[in-house]
Amino acid sequence: MTTVIKAPGEAAAERSGGPGRTKERDGRRSEGVVLNVFSHGFLVLWAIMIVLPLIWLALGAFKTDAQIGGSALSWPSNWHFDAFGRAWTKGIGGYFANTLIVLVFSVPLTMLFGSMAAYVLARYPFTGNRLVYYFFVSGAMFPVFLALVPLFFMVKRFDMLNTYQGLILVYVAYSMPFTVFFMHSFFRTLPTAIYEAAVIDGASDTRIFFQVMLPMAKPGLISVGIFNILGQWNQYILPAVLMQPQTSADPERYMLTQGLIQLQYQMGYETDLPVLFAGATIAIIPMLAVYLSFQRQIQAGLTSATLK
């Protein structure tokens, strides 16, 4: 792929780079034009490769089952939304609700616990401070698979398999490394003078945290918050192991990702593929909305977290 950089115009420019300065200028300009066409060509091609499959998937929701199986490039014959309705009642609605229920608790709890730990570790020197910090942060390095088997039995022992509260606690625990790591660096940058002023005003440490520090850390909280929402919304392995009905009387509490895969299996037998395409589209839409509203913070947050 890198060979493409050596565009014809560029090679010419390299050769011409010598005697006359004007000649060199011309060479460089034509190099620019050729390269510009080249760059746009490749960039547009990849952009199409990203967008086209997604549009094609959404169009599938409007096709008939026979159309989907018959030809990939056929145009939908009707523009009714009934496949979306069927997908919703076939379970997507319930999975959507389950995911929302879990996230409504797990994300705020993650933010609260993560900030509390990060704040203490960032601003209070005590013996073992570094140890506890590395303890928290090291969790990000290990593969989840390593913990999966004992985790299952740990949750089982608490009688919390296939319960919302079980998954909430597990989500919070597994989001700790990143949240503590990110908020730690954020709290460190807050000025000490403000803390001292608050102490002189007679505020307790707890009060300073909730009423002074937390509001000041808002930009950081927003970045980590979005990141945690995305991470927990997209989580698949943890619910796949922990959220299986334990008896036949146990209700299905699948998360959206898990339910989508379930739908894929079901539709394979029932041959109602438009429902699967509609289900996937329903799952994509909130992500698209969150992403487009916060794309600047998401890109900045993920990049800074990785580069640090």
Residue 207 to residue 213: CA distance in whole angstroms: 9
Interface map 52-91 toward another protein (x if CB under 8 A) = -xx-xx--x-------xxxxxx------------------
Site for another protein in 94-153 (CB under 8 A): 113-114, 116-117, 119-121, 124, 126, 132, 135-136, 139, 141-143, 145-153
Site for another protein in 17-36 (CB under 8 A): 17, 24, 28-29, 31-33, 35-36
Report phi then psi at 38, rounded to 5. -60, -50
Site for another protein in 257-296 (CB under 8 A): 257-258, 260-261, 264, 276-277, 279-280, 283-284, 287-288, 290-292, 295
Does the protein bind another protein through residue 49 (CB under 8 A)?
A: yes
**Shortest Cβ distance from residue 114 to another protein (Å)?**
7
| Structure tokens that stand for 71 in this block | 């030809």
**Shortest Cβ distance from residue 191 to another protein (Å)?**
19
Which of 76, 101, 164, 205 binds another protein (CB under 8 A)? It is 205
Q: Which is nearer to another protein, 101 or 113 (CB)?
A: 113
Torsion of CA 228, 230, 232, 233, to 10 degrees: 150
**Shortest Cβ distance from residue 294 to another protein (Å)?**
10
Residue 87 to residue 285: CA distance in whole angstroms: 14
The Cα-based distances of 37 to 3, 30, 42, 52 in angstroms read 16, 11, 9, 22
Q: Which is nearer to another protein, 117 or 224 (CB)?
A: 117
Chain mean position to CA 296:
14
**Radius of gyration, alpha carbons of the chain:** 26
**Shortest Cβ distance from residue 95 to another protein (Å)?**
10
**Shortest Cβ distance from residue 51 to another protein (Å)?**
6
How many residues belong to the site for another protein (CB under 8 A)?
Answer: 111
Q: Which is nearer to another protein, 143 or 191 (CB)?
A: 143
**Shortest Cβ distance from residue 88 to another protein (Å)?**
16
Q: Which is nearer to another protein, 194 or 199 (CB)?
A: 199
**Relative orientation angle of helices 93-123 and 256-270, to the nearest 10 degrees:** 150
Residue 220 to residue 173: CA distance in whole angstroms: 19
With left for phi above 0 and alpha for psi between -120 and 50, is residue 127 left, alpha or beta?
Answer: beta
Site for another protein in 143-202 (CB under 8 A): 143, 145-155, 169-170, 172-174, 176-177, 180, 199, 202
Those residues whose C-beta lies under 8 Å from the C-beta of residue 161, and which sit 6 or more positions away, are 152, 155, 242, 243, 244, 246
Report phi then psi at 8, rounded to 5. -55, -45
Residue 148 to residue 153: CA distance in whole angstroms: 9
Q: Which is nearer to another protein, 101 or 152 (CB)?
A: 152
Q: Which is nearer to another protein, 81 or 153 (CB)?
A: 153
Which of 19, 50, 191, 215 binds another protein (CB under 8 A)? It is 50
Those residues whose C-beta lies under 8 Å from the C-beta of residue 86, and which sit 6 or more positions away, are 272, 274, 275, 278
Does the protein bind another protein through residue 216 (CB under 8 A)?
A: no
The string of DSSP letters for 90-102 reads IIIHHHHHHHHHH
**Shortest Cβ distance from residue 31 to another protein (Å)?**
7
